[in-house]
Amino acid sequence: MNGPTTPPAPTSTGSRGTTTLWRPTGPQELALVEAADWRAWPPRLPDQPIFYPVLNEDYAIRIARDWNVPASGVGYVTRFEVDTAFLTRYPVRQAGGRTILELWVPAEELPEFNRHLAGRIEVVHEFRPQP
């Protein structure tokens, strides 16, 4: 993985000074998001020191479809808004190609990250195995 990069312009900026992020997820994590009334990401497991939201929908789709479906039978892409000013503390990481961009949020900072969500987390895509 490459180091931090200069943050690109947000994929979309909400009217309230927010940035749109995406997260590919499987059914277990999504159930925990639903249990939190779609307003928070669950704590990381001990072997998950980083929370990785991604900066573009296409990258999230590829992960949900190509990794989550084989691993758990279904993959979801979620979309959510976060206060843009708050996000400046997290450098954008390029995890591969030019458009494979993530934020790396340390697990211990996830409760603070959740406090800066604007609105609810929503599911925008669902992928299942192809017959």
Give average pLDDT by consecutive 10-residue segment, the chain, 131 residues. 40 70 97 98 95 96 96 97 96 85 96 98 96 82
Paired tokens of 109: 């900072």
pTM of the complete model: 0.86
Following CA atoms 119, 110, 68, 24 in sequence, which dihedral angle do they give, to the nearest 10 degrees?
Answer: 40
pLDDT at residue number 2: 40
Q: Which residue type occupies 94?
A: Q
The phi, psi pair for 30, rounded to 5°, reads -65, -35
Paired tokens of 52: 């990785």
pLDDT at residue number 14: 52
